[in-house]
Structure 1
Amino acid sequence: LQVLANTLSIMRENIESRENDLVYQSQHDNLTGLYNRLAAKQQLSLLLSKMHGSLVMIDIKNFRHLNNIIGFANADDLLVLFASRLESLSPTAQLISRLDGDSFLLLFQPSIPLEKLDNYLRQLTNPFSIQGSKISVNVRVGIVDLSSDYDCNDIDTLIRHAEIALNQARVESLGIATYQQGEDERYLRELMIIRDLPIALAQGQLHLVFQPKVNIQSNHCHGAETLIRWQHPELGFIPPDEFIRLAENSGNISMISDWVLNTTIKQLAQWQLQGISLTVAINLSAHDLTNPQLPLDIEQLLISNHLPINALSIEVTEGAVMKDAQTVIAVLQQFRNIGLAIAIDDFGTGHSSLAYLKLLPVNEVKIDRSFIKDIHTDATDLMIVDSSIRLIKGLNLSVVAEGVESVEGINILRGLNCDIIQGYVYSKPLKADDFIVWFQQFNQSNIQTLSKDTPH
């Protein structure tokens, strides 16, 4: 009987131990030992009635890229060290949890002021020692300030607000972003855009338009810039600046660039079969310009479609160049070597235009419309444009003025020795068929005008 009693007692202890282990495992992250998402929600529910302080969501910048560099095992070690440091820093968080991947959720009570949070993050991102190497990380932070005027009685919504703030930091390249009441609608819209972009490309929701580029010295249209448009079945027209920004920040910009490139090449090949020759410019992103294979791919695409090299040209913004100037300049030089013309877009809006302009292997500079649109009424804008044209011409580059909307503007720019104009004064961006009608009518009417004006 005693042996039986002892056996039953041991069995009961083992069962209790296994139950405790199962409860622990259900509430804790297997890798770091922190609370998991389920437990974090449970803990926040217990605190909801007296909720105050700061809810902070943290993730590690470019963790996926770091994972590929140091390997999965070392990346796991890094996450363990990162979690351990979260627990050791002051001020101590009331709750620390790992939601998933490299995303962590902390609750500070009372609220943590921004200056204290800055210091906290500096300590958090001190280099970690992995296999004898020092690994540095950067983080992004989303904050929900649980002050008296914060209105939320639902834990899922509370966590979503923290995710919205973190997403804002990610999209706007901020270190820290704070949730503002009413941002849910924008967040859901952005999620829908990111989710639907591949579907839109597959279903033909996107299309190209072409804006004429007119040489005002010869009064002849020699080409166009291709632009992308998206008519979403639910959201309606989505401005390209919005979905391109989201595509860049979500890592989906390459699918847009590939689609634009291939669709433009296809259209150029179709026009060539119709006997129409012109140069169409496409815009490349910062991501595109770090791909050293891209110039050769584009050259091969032109050759395989029986198009001359000058059928296509490249436009890049100064901001894209500044992301990784050394790599980008090397890629641009490859474009130049195979004969593609290159334009710097939005000239004058950056902070290092003059410093980098002499280093870039470009043929053309486009002055931003913010300086152009009011030159017929604003003396300061006129002076800036005049000086810019003189500088660009001094470097033996051609000048394009964007956003011209009046005949007065054309006359002023012609007098300033500008070469090319883009703007509504000539035409808005047009679909391919409409553009060709405009293109042929415009050039034909100018030939007829020149013929009448030429003495016989």
Structure 2
Amino acid sequence: MSLSVFLHPSKLHNRIAGVYLALLLGVQALSYWFIQDSIDGNARAAIQTELDTGEKVLLHLIDQNANSLEQATRVLAADYGFRSAVASGDRETVNSALLNHSERIRADLALFTDPDFVLQASTTGQADRFLAAVKRQADQALAGTSQARQIEIIGGEPFQIVAVPVRAPALIGWVGMGFRVDETKLQDIRALSGLEVALLRPRPAADPDIALATFERAQWPALQQAWQASASRATPLQRAVELDGDEYSARSVVLNAAPGQAAVTAVLMRSVDQALAPYERLQLTLLILTGLGVIVFAVGGLYTAQRITTPLRSLTASARRLEQGDYGDAVHARYAGEIGELAQSFETMRQAIQTRESQISRLAYEDALTALPNRVQFRLHLQAALQHARDTRPHGGGTCAVLMLDMDRFKHVNDVLGHRFGDRLLQAVAERLRTQVLSHPRAELARLSGDEFAVLLPNTEADDAIPVAQRILRAFETPLTLDEHTVDLSAGIGVAIAPEHGDDPDLLLSRAEIAMYVAKRQQAGVVVYHPGLDSTSEESLTLLSELRQAVDTHQLRVFLQPKIDLRTGQAIGAEALVRWAHPTRGMVPPMRFIPFAEQSGFIRVITLWVIEQVAQLGAQLEAQGLALKLAVNLSTRDLMDPELPHKIAQLIERHRLTPERLVLEITESAIMDDPQRALQTLERLHALGVKLSIDDFGTGYSSLAYLKRLPVDELKIDQSFVKHMESDLDDAKIVRSTIDLAHNLGLSVVAEGVETAKAWKLLAGLDCDEIQGYFVAKPMPADTLAEWLTQWHPPDTDGEVLATDFSAMLN
């Protein structure tokens, strides 16, 4: 097995391993997500803690620096010499002391004002903004709200302002010192807190800009832009800032300013990426461990799944063998647990299928009564023999003979002594045939149906087949004895030779059957087929091929012959008759195609087509308020079809026809060919609600015993008795007896072949129920029936005079 096939996703072991691998990955991904979320949350919480600490450090440093600066400034304010100089008004001494002291304490700006804040001395030439800042600081000190953290922008730079009063002992002035806040101080804060620091100076009518920052100066514009962009999505004191692709968590600290003055803001920033960096190594370690775990789990899972699915593949191979019809190899249950139980179930199933398969094969190809091959098996053997004959023809062989025989008088024996005796008789006939036939090399005997048998003689000419047939006939010269009954049987045998009489199994069987029927009809014993026995065979085959197309191409037509109720004179139904409108032959008479359609079995297709047309027409007439009974003839082949009732039920339901509107006419001969089977079919048809009629009554050989058992509703008197009844008293008596018999059995009577008004009047006097014939109407196209019904008027037969004998019969 290739690696691509082994790893194909459709394989069960891959699906098992895949499911658990997916679960593992899902759990690991969920765990990783939780860890990532926890790390992110913890890191951000730690950043907030750092920002809190950084804010405290920043404020503490500013406060500490402010206290130091204030103490240093107070030294100058308390200096005696400085106060003396101030008191004496010696400005030069004040300037000198102010300058020296500012240099000593490293103050960048220094000034002295009188109590009214009039500048007396200053170390800078432009001290207006500085003086204003000192005055604000002094005012706050006098008000008791001095802000040690006051940082103001002077000359565009941030300064920490200190204002100290000079007293001697009364207030004689103020000393103000300004200390520039430079990058060194911010770096000190950064070193102590680990945070980036920036000072934002306010601007009139504009956003603050950066005065100082621990970042590189080249980054200040980007920091300025990022800070302004974050203003819309942050709290006033807490922001998230994106700088050069790095995320910073920032906090603004407002450094107190005097009332009415814009405050300087210190911004403390901590890189989130740097805070998360230590955890990223941990995450990488987790990912590596997860990857190793997945690999180990995948290998282990595939191995385990392979161990599980190996016995399943073995069972799959066994199932494929069963699918292909190989039931010989046993399924071994070599595994424990559920798979072992499954294997045992497969083995039990294999044995059961093998048993049923042999039974089905026997039923499909073997006659259950005689254990001989049936028609299907015989046809297969005949086909193989014909193929062998074709293959050996170039080498001097290539012949094959078929003998078909039918027992004489068997049906009579079956009717008199019963079917059980008939079955045993057939078994005895089969045994006698075995004795006579199977002695011939490679001969095969089969029972085709009923009392019909066939013999296959491979590589046999007609001269060799005839002696075999004659030996069979001589074998039946000795009567058969069963249950103290001696039965004298004979047979008619037809012989067909391949390739002379055909090279197709069905054609060869058909011609052997033709010869057999000739042998029975002429009491000739053995007849070899020749074209003269079936002079119309080629035409029949051509017509049969064309007839199959006629149904599909709508060449068939339904004609209807009305039926009249003699009591009311009104039309109550019609008989459906099929006509073939051939595109080149014209109207083909029914007697030209119906007989061979019955012989070939195609009559079933025609019958169902007619019934469907009638059902559709009947439903249409019902919709028009014309509740007519429409009759359709059934042939022997139709009656022997076990599926016929089901097919008719489907047609009735499809066209929503009232079942009582459909009448099925069956001839006596069709019923008597196989009374028991016919009775079963008729009972199923009767259960559908359709009406059943015995057609051509009086011309067959039915007995009253069968007639009273049939679930029929009416009798149709054959036209041979009706046509001449007004002139033949015997025919009239037969008709009257039939009518009385039918009425006594609770059946209605239909007389067909009515061609004169006298016949109408006579049948009405004999209490016949319905009539049909040319006197009423000839068969007409189905689509003209409705118009005919509107024009029909019963004839006036009062003026018809019957002969005395006939009149007396009516009284």
TM superposition score category, shorter chain reference: 0.5 to 0.7
What do residues 176-211 of structure 1 show as CA deviations (whole Å, max 9, x unaligned)?
555466456411011112222221100111111111
- Code of the residue aligned with 2:756 in structure 1: it is S
Q: Aligned residue for 2:627?
A: 277
Q: Aligned residue for 2:82?
A: none
What do residues 314-337 of structure 1 show as CA deviations (whole Å, max 9, x unaligned)?
111122222332232223223323
User: Which of 348, 361, 369 matches 2:719?
Assistant: 369
Which secondary structure state, in structure 2, belongs to the residue aligned with residue 275 of structure 1?
coil
- Code of the residue aligned with 2:681 in structure 1: it is V
- Code of the residue aligned with 1:429 in structure 2: it is P
For residues 725 and 795 of structure 2, the distance between their equivalents in structure 1, rounded to whole angstroms, comes to: 29
**TM-score, normalised on structure 1?**
0.66
User: Which of 400, 403, 409 matches 1:58?
Assistant: 403
Shift of 1:294: 3.6
1:411 aligns with 2:757: no
Within a 5 Å distance, the mapping from 1:331-350 to structure 2 comes to 331-350=681-700
Which secondary structure state, in structure 1, belongs to the residue aligned with residue 749 of structure 2?
strand
1:36 aligns with 2:389: yes
Q: Aligned residue for 1:327?
A: 677
What do residues 280-304 of structure 1 show as CA deviations (whole Å, max 9, x unaligned)?
1112233333445543543443344
Q: Aligned residue for 2:636?
A: 286
Shift of 1:223: 0.5
Change (3 A) 1:320 1:184: closer
For residues 527 and 642 of structure 2, the distance between their equivalents in structure 1, rounded to whole angstroms, comes to: 34
Question: Structure 1: which 5+ runs fail to align?
Answer: 1-28, 47-54, 62-79, 90-100, 127-137, 145-154, 450-456
1:116 aligns with 2:470: yes
- Contact 1:168 1:177 (C-alpha < 8 Å) held by counterparts: no
Question: Structure 2: which 5+ runs fail to align?
Answer: 1-381, 407-433, 444-454, 481-490, 798-811
Q: Aligned residue for 1:439?
A: 789
User: Which of 485, 494, 499 matches 1:141?
Assistant: 494
- Contact 1:58 1:104 (C-alpha < 8 Å) held by counterparts: no
1:391 aligns with 2:741: yes
Within a 5 Å distance, the mapping from 1:65-84 to structure 2 comes to none
Change (3 A) 1:32 1:181: closer
Q: Aligned residue for 2:441?
A: 87
For residues 419 and 355 of structure 1, the distance between their equivalents in structure 2, rounded to whole angstroms, comes to: 24
- Contact 1:56 1:141 (C-alpha < 8 Å) held by counterparts: no
User: Which of 218, 227, 231 matches 2:581?
Assistant: 231
Change (3 A) 1:142 1:30: closer
Same amino acid, percent of matched pairs: 34
Q: Aligned residue for 2:590?
A: 240
User: Which of 689, 693, 707 matches 1:357?
Assistant: 707
Q: Aligned residue for 2:572?
A: 222
Q: Aligned residue for 2:613?
A: 263
Change (3 A) 1:271 1:34: closer
User: Which of 550, 559, 576 matches 1:200?
Assistant: 550
Residue range with higher mean Cα deviation, 372-381 or 292-301: 292-301
- Contact 1:313 1:341 (C-alpha < 8 Å) held by counterparts: yes
Which secondary structure state, in structure 1, belongs to the residue aligned with residue 754 of structure 2?
coil
- Contact 2:385 2:458 (C-alpha < 8 Å) held by counterparts: no
- Contact 1:368 1:402 (C-alpha < 8 Å) held by counterparts: yes
Which secondary structure state, in structure 1, belongs to the residue aligned with residue 711 of structure 2?
coil
Residue range with higher mean Cα deviation, 112-121 or 239-248: 112-121
Which secondary structure state, in structure 2, belongs to the residue aligned with residue 377 of structure 1?
coil
Q: How many pairs does the alignment contain?
A: 359
Which secondary structure state, in structure 1, belongs to the residue aligned with residue 656 of structure 2?
coil
User: Which of 170, 186, 190 matches 2:540?
Assistant: 190
- Contact 1:214 1:222 (C-alpha < 8 Å) held by counterparts: yes
What do residues 85-120 of structure 1 show as CA deviations (whole Å, max 9, x unaligned)?
44389xxxxxxxxxxx96867435499589836527
Residue range with higher mean Cα deviation, 293-302 or 259-268: 293-302
User: Which of 253, 269, 289 matches 2:603?
Assistant: 253
Change (3 A) 1:448 1:441: farther
1:166 aligns with 2:512: yes
Q: Aligned residue for 1:311?
A: 661
For residues 388 and 684 of structure 2, the distance between their equivalents in structure 1, rounded to whole angstroms, comes to: 51
- Contact 2:638 2:644 (C-alpha < 8 Å) held by counterparts: yes
User: Which of 644, 648, 652 matches 1:298?
Assistant: 648
Larger Rg: 2
For residues 58 and 110 of structure 1, the distance between their equivalents in structure 2, rounded to whole angstroms, comes to: 12
What do residues 366-394 of structure 1 show as CA deviations (whole Å, max 9, x unaligned)?
01111211112223222221221121122
Shift of 1:448: 12
Q: Aligned residue for 1:6?
A: none
Shift of 1:158: 6.3
Change (3 A) 1:410 1:253: same
Change (3 A) 1:399 1:433: same
Greater relative CO, 1 or 2 (CA 8 Å, sep 6+): 1
Q: Aligned residue for 2:348?
A: none
- Contact 1:254 1:288 (C-alpha < 8 Å) held by counterparts: yes
Which secondary structure state, in structure 1, belongs to the residue aligned with residue 461 of structure 2?
strand
For residues 398 and 640 of structure 2, the distance between their equivalents in structure 1, rounded to whole angstroms, comes to: 47
For residues 141 and 288 of structure 1, the distance between their equivalents in structure 2, rounded to whole angstroms, comes to: 26
Shift of 1:239: 3.0
Change (3 A) 1:113 1:418: farther
User: Which of 767, 776, 794 matches 1:426?
Assistant: 776
- Contact 1:284 1:316 (C-alpha < 8 Å) held by counterparts: yes
For residues 297 and 118 of structure 1, the distance between their equivalents in structure 2, rounded to whole angstroms, comes to: 42
- Contact 1:59 1:103 (C-alpha < 8 Å) held by counterparts: no
Shift of 1:279: 1.2
For residues 380 and 313 of structure 1, the distance between their equivalents in structure 2, rounded to whole angstroms, comes to: 30
**TM-score, normalised on structure 2?**
0.39
Which secondary structure state, in structure 2, belongs to the residue aligned with residue 417 of structure 1?
coil
For residues 286 and 205 of structure 1, the distance between their equivalents in structure 2, rounded to whole angstroms, comes to: 24
What do residues 323-371 of structure 1 show as CA deviations (whole Å, max 9, x unaligned)?
3322322232233233221111111111124232111111100011112
For residues 510 and 667 of structure 2, the distance between their equivalents in structure 1, rounded to whole angstroms, comes to: 29
- Contact 1:207 1:228 (C-alpha < 8 Å) held by counterparts: yes
Change (3 A) 1:448 1:357: closer
For residues 33 and 184 of structure 1, the distance between their equivalents in structure 2, rounded to whole angstroms, comes to: 22
For residues 163 and 234 of structure 1, the distance between their equivalents in structure 2, rounded to whole angstroms, comes to: 31
What do residues 46-89 of structure 1 show as CA deviations (whole Å, max 9, x unaligned)?
9xxxxxxxx9642589xxxxxxxxxxxxxxxxxx9998644389
Q: Aligned residue for 2:39?
A: none
Shift of 1:275: 3.3
- Contact 2:466 2:526 (C-alpha < 8 Å) held by counterparts: no
- Code of the residue aligned with 2:470 in structure 1: it is K
Shift of 1:162: 8.0
What do residues 112-170 of structure 1 show as CA deviations (whole Å, max 9, x unaligned)?
589836527869xx9xxxxxxxxxxx9962369xxxxxxxxxx9766699888525247
- Code of the residue aligned with 1:141 in structure 2: it is G
Shift of 1:222: 0.3
Change (3 A) 1:44 1:382: farther
- Contact 1:57 1:166 (C-alpha < 8 Å) held by counterparts: yes
Q: Aligned residue for 2:168?
A: none
